[in-house]
Structure 1
Amino acid sequence: MQDEYELVEGCRRQDRIVQRQLYERFAGKLFAVCKRYIRDPDEAEDVLQDAFVKIFRHIDSFRFECPLEAWLKRVVINTALKHIRKQKPWEQTSDIQDLAPVLPQADESLPSLNYQYLLRLIQELPPGCRTVFNLYAIEGYNHVEIADLLDIAEGTSKSQYARARSLLLQKLKADERTVTSNPPRTTTN
């Protein structure tokens, strides 16, 4: 397998074979990143393709100051955010106190959760909540950075995050009630 330097240099020369190798090596991981922001798989695929076009056009700006995968991920996230901004999914909630309670503290019990289950729950969030939740909880941005990235008020970022947490908690509690109200049946012989 080629190292990052050879991949980048080949892409800089616009070598189609190397570009394909880069695509094949990272497309799966980057598609998963797209899916965190874009619910519809076809739309996520379109965003991924747009991101790869940008990657190949701007590969000269990659300076090996970070891992290649991190740079690629940043391009994909920015492309997804640009796509989302065009759709204007932001609900302008200005008063955080009006929101429902947020997720419990760590000492409260929640059912054990698996990664795919959590991803599915996050995908079910409204677009604005899902985007802010991903940026804050998964990507590690703060609300000032999110507000700048999405061209929204910092308060909107905070309220979208609080709403996302509240909606996730409601879904978790509803699922927990379903599981506990329908225990598995045991048969006796």
Structure 2
Amino acid sequence: MNTEHLIKESRSGDRSAQHLLYQQLSAPMMGVCIRYMKNQQDAEDVLLEGFYKVFKNLEKLNYENENAFFGWVKRIMINEALMKLRKNKEIQIMSINEDVDKEIDISPLKSLETADLLKIIRSIPVGYRTVFNLYEIEGYSHQEIADQLKISTGTSKSQLFKAKKLLREMLQSKNEGYGS
């Protein structure tokens, strides 16, 4: 069954269609959730809450194409992750740093395996990690991030700067360990 047909059947309450839609999307959406959450259990909670909202709101969805649907589901997952972080008071945004406009070279990231990179990103503070993911991975603008997190654009830029700086320091220290 194609995605459009699965959505149509899911809207009418067909549990097997809902299950197939979940199976089709759960792995990539788990990847989205795990980027924001500190551990697997929290990511799974976000995934389940996100899918609950997906199925609850399928009636409101105006299906255009598979990519648009995927983006809609992904946005729900990101919003769920941000809500969980806010609810648990995990997002603690630091003050603005005057070095914000300096660009940090994160080229060492390109040589890492995805799993290693994810592990390093997950180890940085939640505020840094959240802004880094939203900006670098999801492609949100600083204004969109500021609106989502209810912070200033300057704070978003500062968090991104600090995240990149911390990631670079962690990568350099990791690389030094390999060369000795």
Report if TM-score (shorter chain) is over 0.5. Answer: yes
1:136, 1:142 within 8 Å by CA — same for their partners in 2?
yes
Secondary structure class of the residue paired with 1:141: coil
Q: CA deviation at 1:120?
A: 1.1
Q: Aligned equivalents of 1:173 and 1:105: distance in 2? A: 10
Query: Residues 31-110 of structure 1 correspond to what in structure 2 (within 5 A)?
Result: 31-66=30-65, 67=67, 68-88=69-89, 89-97=91-99, 103-104=104-105
1:102, 1:166 within 8 Å by CA — same for their partners in 2?
no
Secondary structure class of the residue paired with 2:111: coil
Q: Which has the larger radius of gyration?
A: 1
Would you identify which runs of 4 or more consecutive aligned residues in structure 1 move more than 3 Å? none
Paired residues in the alignment total 176
Give per-residue Cα distances to partners, 1:6-56, cap 9 Å, x unaligned. Answer: 111011101111111111111111111100001211111111110011001
2:18 maps to 1:19 = yes
Q: CA deviation at 1:154?
A: 1.2
Provide the identity percentage. Answer: 38
Give per-residue Cα distances to partners, 1:126-152, cap 9 Å, x unaligned. Answer: 111101000000000110010001111
* Equivalent position of 2:27 in the other structure: 28
2:142, 2:156 within 8 Å by CA — same for their partners in 1?
yes
Structure 2 unaligned blocks of 5 or more: none
Q: Aligned equivalents of 2:98 and 2:85: distance in 1? A: 23
Normalised to the residue count of structure 2, the TM-score between the two structures is 0.90
Give per-residue Cα distances to partners, 1:60-116, cap 9 Å, x unaligned. Answer: 22212352222211111111111112233222312333x7x753276xx77822222
* Equivalent position of 1:137 in the other structure: 136
Q: Which has the higher helix share?
A: 2
Question: Over the residues paired in the alignment, what is the CA RMSD in angstroms?
Answer: 1.9
Structure 1 unaligned blocks of 5 or more: 182-189
Q: Aligned equivalents of 2:110 and 2:74: distance in 1? A: 31
Normalised to the residue count of structure 1, the TM-score between the two structures is 0.86
Q: Aligned equivalents of 2:85 and 2:93: distance in 1? A: 13
Q: Aligned equivalents of 1:53 and 1:104: distance in 2? A: 40
Change (3 A) 1:42 1:153: same
Q: Aligned equivalents of 2:94 and 2:3: distance in 1? A: 42
Change (3 A) 1:105 1:18: closer
